[in-house]
C-alpha cells in the first residue's frame, strides 16, 4: 500500500518539475500530505483489525482452556457420587443415579465444544444434576434441599456449564450427614436476564476438607470473558450460611 502511494508521489513530482512555481508547489504539497495521511490511516486500520483478531483468538483460547479444566472436575465428582451410592446400598437408587449421570455425561460431551447452548437444555442439565444429588444424599430430616427453577420460555442462549460449579459448591460445602444443614437454589430466566441465587449452610471443616476456590475463580473468569459488563456476581457469608447471587444479561 505504501509503495503504491510512493509511486504516485514520484509521478506527481515528475509532472510538476517542468512548471516549478508557487502554485504547482502548493498543489503538490497538499496532494502529498493527503496521500500520506491516507496511507497511514489505512495502515492504522489494518493494525487495529489485526489486534482485534488476536484479542478474539486469545479470549477463545482462554475459554477453551477453562472448559477443559471444568469438565473433568465435574465428571470426577459425579462419578464419585454414583460410586458412593453403589457402595452403601444395592437398590433401585443406584440404577437411578447411573441413569441421571448418563444424561449428564452425554450433555457435557455435546456442549463442551460449543460457545453457547439453549437455555432450555442448560436448565434441564441443572435439574438432572440436582436430582442426582437428591438420590445420592440420604433422605434425612436434618437435610433440607429446596429448588425453584422458572423460565419464561423465551428463546435465549447461555455459555454451557457455567452455572453448575456454583450449585456443586453449595452441595459440597453445605451438606452434612450428622448436622442440620440445607441447600437452597433459586433460578429465574425472564426477559433475557438470568438471576440465580444459591444458599447453603456453613459447616465446620478441617483444612483438608476446605476447597481451594478454583471452581469459583473459573466462574468469575468465564463471566468476565463471555459477559463483560453484562453480569454481576456477589458472595456473602454469615454465621450460618453462604449466599451467592448471580445476574447475567443473556
Kindly report, residue by residue over 84-109, the tens digit of the pLDDT.
Answer: 776 676 666 676 777 777 778 778 87
CA distances from 169 to 199, 210, 212 (A): 10, 11, 11
Residue 18 maps to a domain: no
Averaged pLDDT score across all residues of the chain: 77
Determine the structural domain holding residue 181 and report its residue range.
Answer: 44-249
Residues 156-175 as b or e (16 or more Cβ within 10 Å = b): bebbbbbbbbbbbbbbbbbb
Which pLDDT score, from 0 to 100, does residue 216 have? 82
C-alpha radius of gyration, the chain, whole number: 29
**Strands 241-249 and 231-237, how do they pair?**
antiparallel
Residue 16 maps to a domain: no
Which pLDDT score, from 0 to 100, does residue 212 have? 46
**Cβ partners under 8 Å of residue 80, min gap 6:** none
Q: Residue 191, by phi and psi: left (phi above 0), alpha (psi -120 to 50) or beta?
A: left
Which pLDDT score, from 0 to 100, does residue 5 have? 45
pLDDT higher than threshold 90 for residue 230: yes
d(CA 175, CA 230): 32
Q: How many CB atoms lie within 10 A of CB 88?
A: 12
* pTM of the full structure: 0.65
Which pLDDT score, from 0 to 100, does residue 209 have? 46
Residue 163 maps to a domain: yes
d(CA 167, CA 200): 10
Residue 102 backbone phi and psi in degrees, to 5: -60, -45
Count of structural domains within the chain: 1
d(CA 8, CA 13): 9
d(CA 202, CA 195): 23
Name all contacts of 226-232 with Cβ < 8 Å and 24+ positions apart.
226/63, 226/159, 226/162, 227/159
Residue 5 maps to a domain: no
Q: How many CB atoms lie within 10 A of CB 128?
A: 17
Do you know the residue count of the chain? Answer: 250
What mean pLDDT do residues 240-248 have?
Answer: 95
Comparison of pLDDT for 4 and 106, the residue scoring more: 106
Which pLDDT score, from 0 to 100, does residue 196 have? 98
d(CA 50, CA 40): 15
Helix residue ranges, H only, the chain: 2-16, 22-88, 92-111, 119-136, 164-174, 214-226
Residue 10 maps to a domain: no
User: In the beta sheet, which residues pair with residue 250?
Assistant: none
Question: Which CATH number belongs to the domain containing residue 131 in this structure?
Answer: 3.30.565.10
Each residue's pLDDT tens digit, 16-41: 454 445 555 565 565 666 566 566 66
Give the pLDDT band (50/70/90) at residue 126.
Answer: very high
Residue 30 maps to a domain: no
d(CA 250, CA 231): 9
Residue 179 maps to a domain: yes
Residue 115 maps to a domain: yes
Task: Write out the three cell numbers for 144.
Answer: 433440607
Q: Find which of 44-53, 100-109, 140-149 is predicted with most confidence, using mean pLDDT.
A: 140-149
What mean pLDDT do residues 47-52 have?
Answer: 72
Which pLDDT score, from 0 to 100, does residue 207 have? 43
Amino acid at each position: 500500500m505504501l509503495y503504491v502511494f510512493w509511486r504516485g508521489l514520484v509521478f506527481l513530482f515528475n509532472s510538476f518539475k517542468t512548471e516549478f512555481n508557487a502554485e504547482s508547489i502548493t498543489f503538490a504539497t497538499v496532494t502529498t500530505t493527503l496521500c500520506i495521511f491516507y496511507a497511514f490511516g489505512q495502515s492504522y486500520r489494518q493494525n487495529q483489525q489485526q489486534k482485534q483478531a488476536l484479542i478474539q483468538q486469545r479470549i477463545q483460547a482462554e475459554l477453551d482452556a477453562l472448559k477443559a479444566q471444568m469438565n473433568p472436575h465435574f465428571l470426577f465428582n459425579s462419578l464419585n457420587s454414583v460410586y458412593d451410592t453403589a457402595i452403601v446400598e444395592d437398590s433401585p437408587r443406584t440404577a437411578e443415579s447411573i441413569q441421571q449421570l448418563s444424561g449428564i455425561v452425554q450433555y457435557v460431551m455435546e456442549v463442551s465444544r460449543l460457545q453457547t447452548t439453549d437455555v432450555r437444555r442448560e436448565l434441564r442439565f441443572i435439574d438432572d444434576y440436582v436430582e442426582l444429588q437428591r438420590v445420592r444424599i440420604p433422605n434425612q430430616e436434618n437435610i433440607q434441599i429446596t429448588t425453584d427453577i422458572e423460565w419464561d420460555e423465551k428463546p435465549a442462549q447461555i455459555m454451557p456449564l457455567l452455572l453448575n460449579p456454583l450449585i456443586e459448591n453449595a452441595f459440597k460445602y453445605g451438606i452434612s450427614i450428622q448436622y442440620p444443614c440445607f441447600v437452597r437454589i433459586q433460578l429465574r430466566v425472564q426477559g433475557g436476564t438470568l438471576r440465580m441465587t444459591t444458599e447453603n449452610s456453613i459447616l465446620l471443616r478441617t483444612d483438608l476438607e476446605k476447597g481451594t476456590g478454583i471452581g469459583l475463580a473459573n466462574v468469575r473468569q468465564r463471566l468476565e470473558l463471555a459477559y463483560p459488563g453484562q453480569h454481576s456476581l456477589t458472595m456473602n457469608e454469615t454465621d450460618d450460611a453462604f449466599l451467592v447471587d448471580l445476574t447475567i444479561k443473556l
